Chain A
Amino acid sequence: MYKIAKENLSALFQLIADSQELYLPVKTAGQTNFAAWSKDAEVDLDTLKTVKSAKDAFFPQSEGLYTVKKEGKKMSVEPEALKEQDFVVFGMRACDVRGLAVLDNVFLADPIDTFYAARRDHGTVVALACHEPEETCFCKVFGVDAAEPLSDVAAWMVGEELYWKPLTEKGEALTASVKELLSDADEAAVDAEKDAIHHIVEKLPYMNLSLEGWDGDALSEKFDSPIWEELYKPCLACGTCTFVCPTCQCYDIKDYTAGNSISRYRCWDSCMYSDFTMMAHGNNRTSQMQRFRQRFMHKLVYYPANNDGMYSCVGCGRCVEKCPSALNIVKVVKAFQNQGGEK
């Protein structure tokens, strides 16, 4: 266990950025999101949740796949290079780190997504424990410990100090490279902080949500439930919930024509959109109820069925905060709890 004074953090960021790229929560025009560090960037480690999760660092909202170029009668295909440079993501939360595990199950399973795999190989994550969890958080429901972010390096902000604990080989390597700024510390302060966090977590309204009945076996019972017809009604069919989500992994592949070249890229897609999984024959989900149902069935039923019971929701609560119609996964689970038996 090491520590560094908060006032020295900018020196730490500078040192990391000297040798590799550094992404961390930066405030731009009033909102905090993960962005590349620079001297002028307004680093914001106090905001608990960035608007978008740190998913972008490993699975960007849009990324090029290859470009076809035409010169005279010649055509050439240039594949997009894989990530070759090491980078550090600083300030992810425990829930976002679990989000990466969810993405790993999808992108690192055969066939491996080489773009994602390269970013995972080169990325080191420094995760921050949640000093003051909020009422929208429900990570505990999914077995995530807000006080114990299990990534390459775990960090805690206690008073004027940041405590730093490498947990993996990558974490050790990063620690070695910045050792000059760190000093040794004992665990006492961190243990007290962990207790304090656990104490707060117990008081949060969503933390004791029960997921009983949500698993792969519940497929047809949940799918055919009449509750969806009621639940989806306020949904405006925007993609906010899917774009702020740390685990939504669906993407679309599109081509862009730029005169003498065509670039093929992929970008996040949202199951809330009418052209989601559009095929030659049309779309297999024709109503908003079906699209709405898809999102929650995927997170709580289909995904666990294929991944040994692991849910693809991590309880970060971003959708709770951002939905324009105040819908969210917690309301869905509660609706089934309240009415599931009766209907």
Chain B
Amino acid sequence: MQELINRAKELLADGTVARVLGWKAGDLPYNPEPAYFETAEAMEDFVYNGFCGANLSKYMIEASRLEGKTLVCLKPCDTYSFNQLIKEHRVDREKAYIVGVGCKGKLDIEKVKKQGIKGIESIGGAEIADEAETLTIQTIYGEKTCAYADVMLERCHVCKGKDHMVYDEIIGESKETKDAERFDEVARIEAMSPQEKFAFFQKELSKCIRCNACRNACPACSCRKCVFDSNKFDSSQKANVDTFEEKMFHIIRAFHVAGRCTDCGECSRVCPQGIPLHLFNRKFIKDIDELYGEYQAGEDTDSKAPLTNYTFEDAEPSIVGKRG
């Protein structure tokens, strides 16, 4: 982290960048917030650790409109989102100085708390530099430990890889965290009977409070005005008055980013109700891979997205029933 801070200070000092977009230490051990730093003094609060899960690509949409270059810290998975935004002309590559930061998997404080750990005072082992396999947590109810891998975000278990897709320089080492297959959960649901599928999603979606956090955190959801914010809609955009509305919202949200979603996992990370929203996005990705050929959004900046493309031999929609 110190290397990163020093380099950022250097670039601020020589005028290469006007500001740094990174994370500021929070007031609890696990809540750093995305923040801009404009001076070397301000950089004192800069932090980069296991709890810096936020994908800063989204903030670059706004930062691209600011005067001067912004140094932005992007994790390997964040760079896919950034590439996708370049392709869609939502960010300006020239306005960004991308520092690819290392990643050894990001942590989910909800999972820590699910283990019954509460009253947290400090957390050791979350720093990016140390090789700790366990977190040592001091709480007012005594010292607790948990395995780093057990409290990682779901997305880190199915990591796309630790290579940065776009960067100006790379600072820090990464560690492979993948230990599960990305589509296993989707395949498990696909194998269920219609009744079971319906019951599963009904139960998960009934928790939805329509806070729109999944949409607002999503780097692919970059419309200036979302269709769900239209007041010409007679169904509500801020409450599930009927169970239909939660299904409508989540299907359309996922559809609008189909073929553009890089599977960065922000939707699931931010959901206050812990709904596995990535299951919607991943279903589209799996279908696209199977029907139209493997495609990873954000891998490049010039390929045609699957939904703005076609071939004469594409499968007919009736394949849905035939695949069983």
A residues less than 8 Å from B34 (CB atoms): 233-234, 325
A326 CB within 8 Å of chain B: yes
Cα A334 to Cα B275 in complex, Å, equals 32
The 4 closest A-B pairs by CB, nearest first: A267-B239, A324-B270, A238-B213, A326-B31
A48 at the interface (CB under 8 A from B): yes
- Known: A273-B238, A274-B225; 6 extra A-B contacts, CB below 8 A, are A28-B207, A200-B119, A243-B272, A256-B241, A273-B212, A274-B229
Give the CA-CA distance A48 to B120 in the complex, in Å.
14
Question: Which residues, 44 to 86 on B, are CB-close (under 8 Å) to A?
Answer: 54, 58-59
> CB-defined interface of B174-200 with A at 8 Å, one 1/0 digit per residue?
000000000000000000000000000
- From 117 to 133 in chain B, residues with beta carbon under 8 angstroms from any chain A beta carbon are 118-121
Question: In whole Å, how far is B283's beta carbon from the nearest beta carbon of chain A?
Answer: 18
Q: Which residues of A contact B (CB under 8 A)?
A: 28-31, 33, 48, 51-52, 61-62, 132-136, 200, 203-205, 233-234, 236-240, 242-244, 252, 254-257, 265, 267-270, 273-275, 278, 320, 322, 324-327, 330-331, 334
Bound CA–CA A256/B55 (angstroms): 37
* Cα–Cα, bound, A33→B54 (Å): 26
**B292 close to chain A: CB less than 8 A:** no
* B119 interface neighbour in A133, A275, A324, Cβ under 8 Å: A133
Complex CA gap A274/B240 in Å reads 19
In the assembled complex, the Cα of A340 lies from the Cα of B234 at a distance in Å of: 44
Chain A residues positioned under 8 Å from B33 (CB to CB): 234, 325-327, 331
B250 to chain A minimum Cβ distance, whole angstroms, is: 14
Q: How many A-B residue pairs have CB under 8 A?
A: 141
- Judge whether A334 and B119 touch: CB under 8 Å: no
Q: How far is the CA of A28 from the CA of B274 in the complex (A)?
A: 11
B54–A136 touching, CB < 8 Å:
no
Q: B32, B58, B141, B231: which contacts A326 (Cβ < 8 A)? A: B32
List of A residues within 8 angstroms of B13 by Cβ: none
* B236 touching A239, Cβ below 8 Å: no
Tell me if B315 counts as interface (CB < 8 A to partner A). no
Residues of B bordering A, CB below 8 Å: 26-28, 31-36, 54, 58-59, 118-121, 139-141, 203-204, 206-207, 209-213, 215-217, 225, 229, 231, 234-236, 238-241, 269-270, 272-275
CB-CB under 8 A from B212, the residues of chain A are: 238-239, 273
A248 CB to closest chain B CB, in angstroms? 12
Alpha-carbon separation in the docked complex, A29 to B279 (Å): 15
Q: Which of A61, A254, A255 touches B209 (beta carbons < 8 Å)?
A: A61
Do the beta carbons of A135 and B241 come within 8 Å of each other? no
Cβ of B272 and Cβ of A240 under 8 Å apart? yes
Closest chain-B Cβ to A331's Cβ sits at a distance in Å of 6
Q: In the complex, are the beta carbons of B239 and A61 less than 8 A apart?
A: yes
What would 20 A/B residue contacts be, using CB atoms closer than 8 Å? A51-B209, A61-B209, A132-B141, A133-B119, A200-B119, A204-B119, A237-B216, A238-B215, A238-B217, A239-B210, A240-B213, A256-B234, A256-B241, A273-B238, A275-B229, A278-B231, A320-B28, A325-B33, A330-B27, A334-B27
B interface SS class = loop
Q: Is the CB of B216 within 8 A of A236?
A: yes
- Known contacts A243-B211, A254-B236; is-contact A134 B273 (Cβ 8 Å): no
Chain A facing B: main interface SS: loop
**Bound form: Cα–Cα A242–B141 in Å:** 30
Q: Complex formed: what's the CA distance from A115 to B23 in Å? A: 45
Whole-angstrom distance between the Cβ of A170 and the nearest chain B Cβ: 29
* Closest residue of B by beta carbon distance from A254: B236
* Interface pair A135/B234, CB less than 8 Å apart: no
Q: Within the assembled complex, what's the spacing in Å between the Cα atoms of A256 and B235?
A: 6
The CA of A325 and the CA of B211, in the complex, are separated in Å by 14
Closest partner residue, chain A, to B30 (CB atom)? A326
In the complex, what residue of chain B is closest to A275 when comparing beta carbons?
B231
Q: Are B236 and A33 in contact (CB under 8 A)?
A: no
The reply to whether B206 and A268 contact each other, CB–CB distance below 8 Å, is no
How far apart are the CA atoms of A58 and B225 in the complex, in Å? 33
Cβ–Cβ contact A326 & B26, under 8 A:
yes
Give CA–CA (A174, B270) in the complex, Å: 40
Contact between chains at B28 and A62 (CB < 8 Å): no
Within the assembled complex, what's the spacing in Å between the Cα atoms of A135 and B203? 30
Specify which of A29, A240, A267, A324 is in contact with B54 (CB 8 Å cutoff): A324
Task: Give chain B residues whose Cβ lies under 8 Å from the Cβ of A33.
Answer: 207, 273
Check B238 against A269 for contact (C-beta < 8 Å).
yes
Q: How far is the CB of A218 from chain B (nearest CB, A)?
A: 22
Known: A203-B140, A205-B27. A252 touches B118 (CB 8 A): no
**A132 contacts B118, CB within 8 Å?**
yes
Let me know if B27 and A267 touch, CB within 8 A.
no
| B236 to A, closest residue via Cβ | A267
Q: CA separation between A29 and B273, bound complex, in Å?
A: 9
In the complex, the answer to whether A244 meets B272 with C-beta atoms within 8 Å is: yes
With the chains together, A236 CA to B269 CA distance in Å? 14
Residue of A nearest to B218 (CB): A236
Closest to B230 in A: A275
Least CB distance from A257 to B in Å reads 5
**A233–B241 touching, CB < 8 Å:** no
Complex-state Cα separation, A237 to B272, whole angstroms: 14
Q: Assuming the A-B contacts A233-B35, A325-B54, are A255 and B239 also in contact, with contact meaning beta carbons closer than 8 angstroms in the complex?
A: no
A267 to B204, CA, bound (A): 21
Nearest CB on A from B111, distance (A): 11
A255 and chain B: residue at smallest CB distance: B234
Smallest CB separation, B240 vs chain A (Å) = 7
**Chain B residues within an 8 Å CB radius of A51:** 207, 209, 272-273
Known pairs A267-B238, A268-B239, A273-B229; A31 contacts B274 (CB<8 A)? yes
Q: Do A240 and B211 touch across chains, with their CB atoms under 8 A apart?
A: yes
